Amino acid sequence: MSNTPADAFEVVEATVSEVHAAMTEERLTAESLVDRYLARIDAFDDELNAVLTVNEDARDRARRLDERFEADGLVGPFHGIPVVLKDNHDTHDLPTTAGAVALSASVPPRDAFVVERLREAGAVVLAKTNLQELSFGVDTVSSLGGATRNAYDTDYRPSGSSGGTAVAVAANFATVGTGSDTCSSVRSPPAFNNLVGLRPTRGLVSRRGVVPLSETQDTVGPVTRTVGDAARMLDVVAGHDPEDPVTARGADAIPPDGYVSHLDPDGLDGARIGVARQFFGVHDDDAATEADATAVTAVVDRAVEAMAAAGATVVDPVDVVDLDRLASARVITHEFARDFERYLSTLGDAAPYDSLEEVHATGPVTPSVASRLDSGGILDVDTASVESNVGYLRRLRRRERLRESVLSRMVEDDLDALLYPPSRVPPVAIPDHQPFSEMNCELAAHTGLPAIVLPAGVTDDGLPVGVELLGRAFGEPRLFELGYAFERATDHRRPPERFGALAE
């Protein structure tokens, strides 16, 4: 490691604003910061298995940014900030694999929209992270990367599919990270790794250049250690993209003063929070035990008490939605093969295959994913006729009605947010699979409404638990106010003891 001013700068738990303050005070350079994070990856990732690919150009990129800083100061809001990307985000200079051996040599011709935005803001793409293969599941296991382990206990799952990013950010391998969320993926991995995760409103952030699972559910979101850094990242990546027309919905919804301006330490004072008790407790007795659910409920109940102590009015319980009707709006089976095929077509001559079926046939695909592909009917879907499938169209219409119903409940009860645990149970021990039936991901995924996950504390076994707040459409500013106030009032974020500061 080079002898630089960074010798006086501790990267563990460093935020974007702290990094920039150190740069401005000439205590830190972008290159030395990159060196620090790479040293942590070298030291710890053999145990965690969070990183798939390290960007060999990261140091050169940081050095160029240091030269620009000498001449012009900070070039943007993410100047010199090392970022890890979930490896389903297209990068023109690195493979984009979705964790699949079959895509291990696939280098897209251009960056994903969010990657373009981050680089334009001055970010350094440090590495790409492991994920549940093809984002299809909640364990974070892939044929290319194997199994990622929880940063707080390596015998346990980190959840998924963005588990590699969550573990990397939790273990301080980078300042911030990105994930994608189809159903749970930027919420349960942060919850299981003592982090903040944000699923934006559908239409706020472009999905162009992200390997898809479900066009009507997919979105990109920040994975960070603090609410402030999540707001800073959303300020960078939110915006209209003509190549993703759904972002026209959010074009006028971004606050003119940005999301960071909504970091209000008194944001819970006078707020009204509805506790959705129907999302507590075991959902499937064959998948989990009531004792597991009780451990999570105890932590989340303490979070509710903390919000009340900070000035919130708690409405408990609030009956939100019929759970069977919510589950009946699932469309991944209809959309997965179609949307994946469309993505491959965007790669042009760089596309290694033409369809999901070809990728699956080529193998190897991690067994839990291969089994679901074989048994779920996904490969039997006629991708050319999905849009005329009556059952599929009914499910999409059902989603509109679900969204209207949830928003109506929030208006009738004058609620700023609905509260529930992102997972009813804690992380499970490897090699067991994290039960999808206990994930509370569908309320946000099927309605397209925004949700933020915050560190809520730990179980008696020391496993992190998150609390999720679901807001109104394009209500991210209010969620940041609530989340920042809760963060300031509770200070639950702690780095994993096993992966602390490196010895000098």
pLDDT tens across the length of the chain (504 residues): 344 444 579 999 999 999 999 999 999 999 999 999 999 999 999 999 999 999 999 999 999 999 999 999 999 999 999 999 999 999 999 999 999 999 999 999 999 999 999 999 999 999 999 999 999 999 999 999 999 999 999 999 999 999 999 999 999 999 999 999 999 999 999 999 999 999 999 999 999 999 999 999 999 999 999 999 999 999 999 999 999 999 999 999 999 999 999 999 999 999 999 999 999 999 999 999 999 999 999 999 999 999 999 999 999 999 999 999 999 999 999 999 999 999 999 999 889 999 999 999 988 999 999 999 999 999 999 999 999 999 999 999 999 999 999 999 999 999 999 999 999 999 999 999 999 999 999 999 999 999 999 999 999 999 999 999 999 999 999 999 999 999 999 999 999 999 999 986
| Measured distance CA(160)–CA(137) in Å, rounded | 7
Q: pLDDT, tens digit, for every residue of 141-177?
A: 999 999 999 999 999 999 999 999 999 999 999 999 9
- Residues spanned by the domain of 433: 149-496
Is residue 102 assigned to a domain?
no
Is residue 393 assigned to a domain?
yes
Is residue 211 assigned to a domain?
yes
146 backbone φψ class: left, alpha, beta (φ>0; ψ -120 to 50) = left
Burial 129-147 (b: 16+ CB within 10 A, else e): bbbbbbbbbbbbbbbbbeb
Is residue 328 assigned to a domain?
yes
Greatest C-alpha distance within the chain: 65
Give, to the nearest 10 degrees, the angle between helix 390-412 and helix 332-346.
110
Number of domains making up the chain: 1
Q: In the sheet that 219-224 helps form, which strands lie side by side, from edge to edge?
A: 51-54, 124-129, 82-86, 176-181, 219-224, 196-199, 451-458, 464-470, 417-420, 272-275, 313-315
Q: Which two tokens stand for residue 408?
A: 């109506």
For the chain, the straight-line distance linking the first and the last C-alpha, in angstroms and rounded, comes to: 10
Is residue 327 assigned to a domain?
yes
Is residue 93 assigned to a domain?
no
Give the pLDDT confidence score for residue 8 in this predicted structure: 76
- Domain of 382, CATH number, reads 3.90.1300.10
Helix, strand, or coil (residue 44): helix
210, β-bridge pairs: 89
DSSP H helical ranges for 288-425? 290-309, 323-327, 332-346, 356-362, 367-375, 390-412
β-pairing, 464-470 vs 451-458, is: antiparallel
Helix, strand, or coil (residue 24): helix
Q: pLDDT, tens digit, for every residue of 370-415?
A: 999 999 999 999 999 999 999 999 999 999 999 999 999 999 999 9
| Measured distance CA(317)–CA(438) in Å, rounded | 19
Q: How far is CA 361 from CA 101, 137, 207, 364, in A?
A: 12, 19, 27, 8
pTM of the model: 0.97
| Measured distance CA(445)–CA(330) in Å, rounded | 9
Q: pLDDT, tens digit, for every residue of 15-73?
A: 999 999 999 999 999 999 999 999 999 999 999 999 999 999 999 999 999 999 999 99
Give the pLDDT confidence score for residue 89 in this predicted structure: 98
3-state SS, 91-132, equals CCCCCCCCCCHHHCCCCCCCCCHHHHHHHHCCCEEEEEECCC
| Measured distance CA(273)–CA(454) in Å, rounded | 15
Is residue 503 assigned to a domain?
no
Is residue 38 assigned to a domain?
no
Give catalytic residues, as residue numbers: 86, 161, 185
Give the pLDDT confidence score for residue 7 in this predicted structure: 59
Give yes or no for a contact between 100 and 57, defined as CB atoms under 8 angstroms apart.
no
